[in-house]
Structure 1
Amino acid sequence: MTVDRRVLKSQEAIKKAFFELMAEKDFKDITVHLISERANLNRGTFYLHYLDKFDLLDKCVEEQFAELMRVCAAKEHDQTHYPTFDSILTTTQYFEEHFMFYSCMLNNKGMPSFRDRMLDLMVKGIHEQINMSDINTGMNKDILVQFMASAIVGIIEWWIVNHMPVPAQQLAKELWTLLERNQINQ
């Protein structure tokens, strides 16, 4: 099923306006009226696509997380069950490409649950991928998964909040070195 280009154009205008406003204001101060005005659409058009600003936010987050999972899964073509340098590089490049979204979500005072959702997503992905044999034999899987997910989300959050002080390639190399140093990627 193809979606009408006008529908896609309206949705993109709404999302763009929403994230521009998120960069300027706390979520609680953003209204459907402000979003519609910024998108140069009427409120009726907004309501054709979204129930309210919370529905818009939820759909944007779900789209981003689904895309992140798709990008990460595409690089896990070999069944190693642990991260590869290519998968880490692809992930850091994804965050770089979608900087505006993640910056708005991590910097906005009205979005404290976003980091928790990102952590939950990372925990799920690592839990499914982690190799519990070899160096990880005998370790508590939940503790290891929490350690890795918290560290990775913390580093990504630091990188985004500080406006990507190093390029995605360097961040990937640093993450890879940390995983190697802790013998997690073996």
Structure 2
Amino acid sequence: MEKKTAGRVDPRVLRTRALLRSAALEMAGERDIESMTIADIAERATVNRATVYQHYRDRDALLLDAMEEEVGRLARAAAQCPLTRPAERTPDEVVDLFRHVDANATLYQRMLGPGGSARFVNRLRELLAQEVEAQLVGADDAGTGPAAARLRGHYLAGAFVGVFTEWVSMTNRPSAPQAASEVWRLLRGPSSPASVASEGTR
């Protein structure tokens, strides 16, 4: 339980959690997630194992917290992409989204790979879906209700997570602009959000 002073979280709690998140992220960039233990993270953070359990239920909960900021950054980048109205030219925002993942490729390899965290994958997909849903519902001419937007949001989010997972694992992966261009070409096809939305209004 968090200690609070005058309605604020005890600074010692914040420091400890920051140490644990930093240690977890460092280790995630060095080794497979499945090989990491609470004891390993505690040793890297220079705290005892029991202290970790005072703040986190298990290793995955700690990793998810450590990656929450990164996931948020990726979701905000996705929010800038005009996913509901694909244009001829690949938007710079989509290229930037892939560049962001590329800049953190090792971390995404660990978290999305076979030995990664299912909770992280689910959280990433959830936030990406929320951003797509918001675009679809907010598009005046999309003709998309909340239920349909939710389904389409998760459809696209799943596609992006799948693409990111495969892309960061490739030995000679295409550049961010190349990968973004290929994904955008697929989005402009018959199953693009804009096309599906327009078909739903017929």
Determine if the TM-score, normalized by the shorter chain, exceeds 0.5.
Answer: yes
Partner amino acid, structure 1, of 2:48 = R
Percent of counterpart pairs with the same letter? 20
Deviations 1:131-171 (A, max 9, x none): 362xx547943443333222222212211233561111101
Correspondence 1:115 to 2:121: yes
Aligned length: 174
Whether the 8 Å CA contact 1:123–1:149 is kept in 2: the answer is yes
Q: 1:138 to 1:122 in 2, by over 3 A?
A: closer
Contact 1:82/1:129 (<8 A) preserved: no
1:144 to 137, 152, 168: 152
Identify the residue that residue 175 of structure 1 maps to in structure 2: 183
Q: Give the alignment of 1:1-186 within 5 angstroms.
A: 10=19, 14-20=23-29, 23-24=31-32, 26=34, 29-37=35-43, 39=44, 41-43=46-48, 47=52, 50-51=55-56, 53-73=59-79, 75=80, 82=85, 85-109=91-115, 111-130=117-136, 131=139, 133=141, 136-137=142-143, 140-163=148-171, 165-182=173-190, 184=193
Deviates more, 1:145-154 or 1:98-107: 145-154
Query: What secondary structure, in the 3-state scheme, does the structure 2 residue paired with 1:181 have?
Result: coil
Kindly state the Cα deviation for residue 20 of structure 1 after the two structures are TM-superposed: 4.2
The CA deviation string for residues 41-67 of structure 1, in whole angstroms up to 9 with x for no partner, is: 3437x74x9546344212112121122
Instruction: Give the CA deviation at 1:9.
Output: 8.8
Greater per-residue helix proportion: 1
Counterpart for residue 3 of structure 2? none
With structure 2 as the length reference, what TM-score do the two structures score? 0.65
Partner Cα separation in structure 1 for residue 126 and residue 96 of structure 2: 20
* Structure 2 residues not aligned, in runs of 5+: 1-10, 196-202
Closer/same/farther in 2, CA of residues 67 and 32 from structure 1, 3 Å limit: same
Aligned-residue CA RMSD in angstroms?
A: 3.8
Which amino acid is 2:120 matched to? F
Quickly say closer, same or farther: Cα 1:164–1:50, change in 2 above 3 A. farther
After TM superposition, the score normalised by the length of structure 1 is 0.69
CA separation in 2, counterparts of 1:149 and 1:32?
30
Q: Report the AA paired with residue 122 of structure 1.
A: L
- Letter of the 2:176 partner, please give it: A
